[in-house]
Amino acid sequence: MTGTVTAISPAVTGLSIGDMVAIGNVVDSCGTCPARPDPVGQWFT
């Protein structure tokens, strides 16, 4: 997946609004993360 940074928090370093970004495809997550305990790994928060 690819996109453009549209907003950042003050704690973010190394990125600026307008930067192009990418993330690899996450498949078969373990489902044990307390932030998102389902198999939709790319939507971890």
Q: What is the pLDDT of residues 1-45, one digit of tens each?
A: 899 999 999 999 999 999 999 987 666 666 666 655 555 555 554
Distance CA 31, CA 1 (A): 21
Query: How many structural domains does the chain have?
Result: 1
DSSP code for 42: G
DSSP code for 18: T
Give burial (CB, 10 Å; 0-12/13-18/19+) of 16: exposed
Could you tell me which residues are beta bridge partners of residue 20?
A: 4
For residue 44, the enclosing domain spans 1-45
pTM strictly above 0.75: no
Predicted local distance difference test score (pLDDT) of residue 6: 96
